[in-house]
Amino acid sequence: MDEISKGKSPFYPGQPVPTEFFIGRINEVHRIARTIGQVELGKPQAIFLTGEYGIGKSSLAGFMRYYAERNNNILGLHILLGGVESLEDVAAKTVEIVIRTQSYGLTITEKLRNFLSKYIGKQDLLGFSINFESLKADSPNISHGYLPFLRELLNRLNDDGIKGVMLILDEINGISKNPQFAHFIKTLVDENALSPDPLPLMLLLCGVEERRKDMIQHHQPIERIFDIVEISPMSKNEMEDFFNKTFSSVNMKVEPDAMSILCNYSAGFPKIMHMIGDVVFWIDKDNIVSADDAINGVLIAADEVGKKFVDQQVYKALRSKDYHSILAKLGKGDIDLSFQKSAIEEGLSDIEKRKFNNFLQRMKKLKVLKSGDERGEYIFNSRLVRLYIRLTSLEKK
Ligand SMILES: Nc1ncnc2c1ncn2[C@@H]1O[C@H](COP(=O)(O)OP(=O)(O)O)[C@@H](O)[C@H]1O
Ligand SMILES: [Mg+2]
């Protein structure tokens, strides 16, 4: 058969999913939508969106921003704080995002740019550039007057029917380690609640649970201001829905055998689903995803996961022939992060048992595993390493 020329891949392994490909998460969407409804009515709200790396926090936040803009007339600002460590830089990023926002068409975009014209530099090929010098000079002031800044921004859009602001602070790994950040957030929320005319502000922080703990450690009262929404791995239905819809958007069909392989090995993790899906998209030749395509996809994606997310030393150790049978066993069954030593040992030969002991010690040294609270319990420190073992277990069959 002739090779089919491929168009654009509908998979997005490295970035939040575009809203048109967003799948599932119905309960979380409802919950956040209800909260947004409260903000539209004038009541400020704060949510901490939590879940593991790659589980879909940024995607859900992006989807809710779109939702709030469409259904509640709430202006969304999705601020990615990767690499940001100071409050001044939080302020500067915020200004940048406001300048670049294009949510509601020209009138609003222009009003926002007029408001911040001071920080807009010369026109360049992309339309304009940010005047970082003057932004940097003012960012300490903006960070000190963050709430008034947001208020002024919303005031400017009063005539346009905009009812509130949704502030999404995402990728907070760096900034949440700064003790000032917890105080900044608490003050923002309190100051707003106590003001005679609170700003309809929806605050949405995205981060793994450890980041929330960091913040609480820096400032205990942070614990009380957030409703917590936790994202879990996708269900089988959500996964099937994902693969069916995404493949059919490019006129590809998934055969039942292939579907069960795709779901089994991606184990509900959107990041892995996209990585496998993308590989399969490129290797398939006839627009029908067969079991063979799926198996090849899993194997190639396994290697990619290994190279991208598994530490070099661990990667090498895990590829040692000695550990094949152990890894094959660990790769089966559910994908809990913890396991009982005795459960894996069952059915291993004496030689394998010795290798298994050696494996456990080595993995502990490499910080892949730690001991659990129960006797004989081991816990994976990284979900992706755990998934890598599952993905490579296919190879060993
Ligand atoms: N609801 C969803 N539907 C489809 N793909 C998703 C969904 N949620 C996440 N993804 C995909 O999963 C991967 C990780 O998502 P992301 O939102 O970046 O996770 P996090 O912010 O939790 O690290 C991305 O490739 C993204 O495109
Ligand atoms: Mg993210």
Q: What is the pLDDT of residues 190-201, one digit of tens each?
A: 999 999 999 999
Residue range 211-238, pLDDT digits in tens:
999 999 999 999 999 999 999 999 999 9
What is the rounded (10 degree) CA torsion for 292, 295, 298, 303?
-100
Candidate of 15, 32, 59 to mutate for ligand 1, largest count of ligand atoms within 8 Å of Cβ: 59
pLDDT value of residue 121: 83
pLDDT value of residue 382: 85
Is the distance from CB of 371 to CB of 364 less than 8 angstroms?
A: yes
Shortest CA distance to 226 belongs to which of 34, 48, 43?
Answer: 48
Distance (Å, whole) CA 80 – CA 170: 5
Ligand of minimum distance to the alpha carbon of 170: 2
* Strands in the chain per DSSP E: 45-50, 74-80, 164-170, 201-206, 227-230, 253-254, 288-289, 338-340, 369-371, 377-380
Ligand of minimum distance to the alpha carbon of 59: 1
Atom 18 of ligand 1, residue of closest alpha carbon: 16
Q: Using 50 as the pLDDT threshold, list the residues of the chain that sit under it.
A: 1-2
Q: Give 124-136 as a 3 state SS string.
A: CCCCCCECHHHHH
Residue range 236-253, pLDDT digits in tens:
999 999 999 999 999 999
Owner of token pair 């089919």:
4
CA distances from 352 to 348, 355, 357, 368 (A): 6, 5, 9, 20
Owner of token pair 């090849």:
296
Distance (Å, whole) CA 382 – CA 387: 9
Kindly list the protein residues whose Cβ atom lies closer than 6 A to any atom of ligand 1: 12-13, 15-17, 21-25, 51, 53-59, 242, 270-271, 274
Point out the ligand 1 atom lying closest to the alpha carbon of residue 231.
22
Q: 227 CA distance to ligand 1 centroid (A)? A: 21
Q: Residues in the chain, how many?
A: 397
Alpha helix (H) ranges present in 178-331? Answer: 179-194, 209-218, 222-225, 236-248, 256-266, 270-283, 291-309, 312-318, 324-331
Shortest CA distance to 53 belongs to which of 316, 392, 329, 305?
Answer: 305
pLDDT value of residue 244: 97
pLDDT value of residue 324: 83
Predicted TM-score of the model (pTM): 0.91
For ion ligand 2, residues whose CB falls within 5 Å = 57-58
Domains in the chain, start-ordered, CATH in brackets? 25-230 (3.40.50.300), 320-397 (1.10.10)
Point out the ligand 1 atom lying closest to the alpha carbon of residue 246.
4
Distance (Å, whole) CA 388 – CA 24: 24
CA distances from 184 to 87, 90, 136, 140, 221 (A): 8, 11, 19, 13, 12
Beta strands at 227-230 and 288-289: parallel, antiparallel or unpaired: unpaired
pLDDT value of residue 330: 84
Q: 155 CA distance to ligand 2 centroid (A)? A: 30
For 319, the 3-state DSSP assignment is coil
Distance (Å, whole) CA 389 – CA 397: 13
Distance (Å, whole) CA 161 – CA 19: 24
Report the greatest alpha carbon distance in the chain.
77
Backbone angles phi, psi at 120, to 5 degrees: -105, 125
Q: 236 CA distance to ligand 2 centroid (A)? A: 22
